[in-house]
């Protein structure tokens, strides 16, 4: 499965703790992350991370493009709801695409915990079916 990990600055510490706690799950999947989040996860866990641009420089759009190609199976995007972001349109576009393509998306740590545990239990097998079936996306 392909998992996107993204965190705004005030949520990066939470994301690092999440990545450490669930390293045993994450290491069995392909991790794609925005620039700074990805670097910090790599440094803290040693996990292999595919890094795109930093969010404000287009990273959210790059991950959005993968969603539009139906290449993402889970998006964990720890947003900071209390700080204005210069690239707010990109953030909304990414989340909108998750809805368009029906991608499980967590925007806070509580939902992230539930989704990663569901993945651990093998409850994401339906995503393999959806990905192999183009007409399922219509």
- Where do runs of H (alpha helix) occur along the chain? 12-21, 23-26, 35-45, 59-68, 88-100, 109-120, 125-131
Catalytically active residues, by annotation? 60
Separation CA 33–CA 41 (nearest Å):
9
3-state secondary structure of 85: coil
Q: Rounded to whole angstroms, what are the CA distances from 119 to 31, 51, 87, 114?
A: 14, 22, 30, 9
Q: Which CB, 8 or 127, lies closer to ligand 13P? A: 8
Q: Which CB, 2 or 36, lies closer to ligand 13P? A: 36
Q: Are 16 and 43 in contact (CB under 8 A)?
A: no
State which of residues 4, 19, 26, 37 lies at the interface with ligand 13P (CB under 6 A): 37
- According to the binding rule CB under 6 A, does residue 108 interact with ligand 13P? no
- According to the binding rule CB under 6 A, does residue 107 interact with ligand 13P? no
- According to the binding rule CB under 6 A, does residue 54 interact with ligand 13P? yes
- According to the binding rule CB under 6 A, does residue 71 interact with ligand 13P? no
- According to the binding rule CB under 6 A, does residue 36 interact with ligand 13P? yes
Q: Which stretch binds ligand 13P (CB under 6 A): 56-64, 65-73, 109-117, 129-137?
A: 56-64
């Amino acid at each position: 499965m392909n998992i996107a990990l993204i965190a705004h600055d005030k949520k990066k510490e939470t994301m690092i703790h999440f990545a450490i706690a669930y390293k045993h799950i994450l290491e069995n999947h392909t991790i794609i992350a925005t620039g700074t989040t990805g670097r910090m996860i790599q440094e803290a866990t040693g996990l292999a991370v595919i890094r795109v641009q930093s969010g404000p420089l287009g990273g959210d759009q790059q991950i959005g493009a993968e969603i539009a190609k139906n290449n993402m199976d889970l998006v964990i995007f720890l947003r900071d709801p209390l700080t204005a972001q210069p690239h707010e349109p990109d953030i909304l576009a990414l989340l909108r695409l998750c809805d368009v393509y029906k991608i499980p998306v967590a925007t806070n740590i509580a939902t992230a915990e539930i989704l990663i545990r569901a993945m651990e239990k093998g409850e994401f097998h339906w995503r393999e079916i959806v990905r192999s079936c183009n007409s399922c996306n219509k």
